[in-house]
Amino acid sequence: GEDVEQSLFLSVREGDSSVINCTYTDSSSTYLYWYKQEPGAGLQLLTYIFSNMDMKQDQRLTVLLNKKDKHLSLRIADTQTGDSAIYFCAESMDNQGGKLIFGQGTELSVKP
């Protein structure tokens, strides 16, 4: 079935790199996404990767995709306290109208 798994918590020190991991199940997904949710706010699209790519870099964010293992990761370089939030990975079910299947979210805590 459809399932996206993430670890629930990650704690890092300010200035360190953060790596958030995700596994997904649908090998036919065209896009895979990372969303950020700050306390009391809606979901903000952080970045995405097309399924035929292995890596995508966008400023402090690096997305790595291992299609063989169905593993997606988000690396945040030089993590700041403002990066504290919940991060969701999601796969798009393009043959089902584009609905997104989300992981449970990883709560990132950045300590000064």
Based on CB atoms, which residue is closest to other proteins, 16 or 94? 94
Based on CB atoms, which residue is closest to other proteins, 62 or 104? 104
Q: Please write down the HEC assignment for all residues of the chain.
A: CCCCEECCEEEEECCCCEEEEEECCCCCCCEEEEEEECCCCCEEEEEEEECCCCEEEECCEEEEEECCCCEEEEEECCCCHHHCEEEEEEEEEHHHCCEEEECCCEEEEEEC
Contacts to other proteins by CB under 8 A = 4, 29-31, 33, 41-45, 48, 88, 90, 92-94, 96-105
Based on CB atoms, which residue is closest to other proteins, 8 or 19? 8
